[in-house]
């Protein structure tokens, strides 16, 4: 009988994604495990495979739609089946995760009613029915609170979520809060906030609302580092490795983090604990046509400058081509963003939540500088450190920034572990 294929659990706590591109259309024959669509979620694009062989009878989500885990993406029929048969099919269904088949929903009987209802395991438990409702309404506490705030009777709303659950968007539409832009005062172009820009917006808003952020700034004389990089790039030309300043920035940060561990930490709000990371996974902000992405280089302390440069090239290329894997964007403990490449000097970079700090590097320029009592022209790098004041104080952050500056001013210290 026809099969309702729902958005599978993609792992990493992901609950929704945007339908970026369908790779099949209605009427197409599909093979089991054939990729049928691309879902953009948490800054990465994931190809989703079909759970079985058959023909596409119906596509439930358009490109650009937001699909939640457990929602039906499309209906697949085996040979001889029709779309009409879907209505007669039992409500039990399954979805395919990235690695195999996972039971998605089971039937369960409501106590004392003799009725059976569908419960979707991947979206968690559904709250109990509210007093006075004749039937159980599937909605989370947050959605119920939203309905109360907007004065909407949740029992009268037709849910569009998994198993007919009511979503926050359903409540807002019922309250007339959605789709009513303010009167314009001139020519405007309205575009839906979708894809990577939507993810960036959510993540940065979360960071600003959650962290107690403070930014400190300084200038660093990197003339010696500049000369070192120039020399080494000539010798690396044959190996097709382009040595930027970022590998040196990463090494300097790691050395400094070893002495200032609370800048390599996060907060567990549920248990009210500080989680100090004993590993160094450094995220590097990469500008792409769709927006900023942050690939993560794992175990940077175990890699050489050349190895870091090579991995940076590879991850940056994959990010710009949107071929980067989800796991390559996860697990960061500290982030570096180099906006100087685009002409900026100082900034107040936003922490990549749940990390506790981010280092911004600006445009390198020649400036008059006092060295050994004389005024000379040197290569000067502006740096900005934003840190979470809940985890560390200004004194510790200032010492960290001074330590980073010391390693960049004298790059030979990068190779002396005890420095």
Catalytic residue list: 389
163: region left, alpha or beta (phi > 0 left; psi from -120 to 50 alpha):
left
Q: In the beta sheet, which residues pair with residue 22?
A: 37
195: region left, alpha or beta (phi > 0 left; psi from -120 to 50 alpha):
left
- Residues contacting residue 388 through CB under 8 Å, at least 6 positions apart: 211, 212, 213, 267, 351, 356, 357
- Residues contacting residue 142 through CB under 8 Å, at least 6 positions apart: 168
Q: Helices 305-320 and 246-259 sit at what angle, rounded to 10 degrees?
A: 110
**Strand pairing category for 273-276 and 282-284:** unpaired
What distance in Å separates the CA atoms of residue 298 and residue 280, rounded to the nearest whole number?
7
- Token look-up 């419960």 returns 119
* DSSP assignment string, 257-290: HHH-GGGSEEEETTTTEEEE-SS--EEE-EEETT
């Amino acid at each position: 009988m026809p099969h309702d294929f729902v958005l599978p659990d993609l792992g990493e706590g992901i609950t929704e994604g945007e339908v970026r591109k369908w790779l099949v259309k209605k009427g197409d024959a599909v093979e089991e495990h054939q990729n049928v669509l691309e879902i953009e979620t948490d800054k990465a694009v994931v190809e989703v495979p079909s759970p079985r062989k058959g023909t596409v009878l119906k596509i439930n989500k358009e490109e650009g739609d937001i699909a939640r885990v457990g929602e039906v993406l499309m209906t697949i029929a085996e040979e001889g089946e029709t779309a009409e048969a879907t209505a007669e099919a039992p409500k039990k269904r399954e979805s395919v995760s990235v690695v195999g088949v996972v039971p998605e929903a089971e039937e369960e009987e409501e106590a004392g009613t003799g009725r059976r209802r569908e419960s979707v395991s991947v979206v968690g438990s559904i709250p109990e029915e509210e007093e006075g409702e004749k039937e159980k309404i599937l909605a989370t506490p947050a959605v119920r609170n939203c309905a109360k705030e907007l004065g909407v009777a949740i029992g009268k709303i037709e849910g569009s979520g998994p198993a007919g659950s009511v979503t926050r968007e359903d409540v807002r539409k019922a309250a007339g809060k959605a789709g009513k832009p303010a009167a314009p005062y001139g020519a405007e172009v309205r575009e839906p906030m979708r894809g990577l820009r939507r993810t960036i917006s959510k993540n940065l808003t979360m960071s600003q609302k959650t962290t107690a952020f403070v930014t400190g700034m300084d200038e660093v004389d990197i003339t010696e580092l500049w000369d070192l990089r120039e020399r080494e790039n000539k010798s690396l030309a044959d190996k097709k490795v382009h040595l930027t300043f970022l590998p040196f920035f990463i090494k300097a940060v790691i050395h400094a983090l070893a002495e200032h561990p609370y800048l390599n930490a996060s907060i567990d709000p549920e248990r009210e604990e500080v989680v100090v990371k004993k590993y160094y996974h450094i995220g590097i902000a990469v500008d792409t046509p769709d927006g900023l992405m942050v690939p993560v280089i794992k175990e940077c302390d175990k890699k050489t400058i050349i190895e870091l440069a090579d991995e940076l090239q590879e991850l940056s290329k994959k990010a710009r081509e949107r071929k980067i894997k989800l796991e390559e964007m996860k697990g960061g403990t500290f982030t570096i963003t180099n906006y100087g490449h685009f002409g900026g000097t100082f900034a107040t970079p936003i922490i990549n939540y749940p990390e506790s700090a981010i280092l911004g590097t600006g445009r390198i320029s020649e400036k008059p500088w006092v060295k050994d009592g004389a005024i000379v022209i040197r290569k000067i790098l502006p740096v900005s450190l934003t840190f979470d004041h809940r985890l560390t104080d200004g004194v510790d952050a200032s010492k960290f920034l001074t330590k980073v500056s010391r390693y960049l001013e004298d790059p030979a210290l990068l190779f002396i572990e005890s420095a």
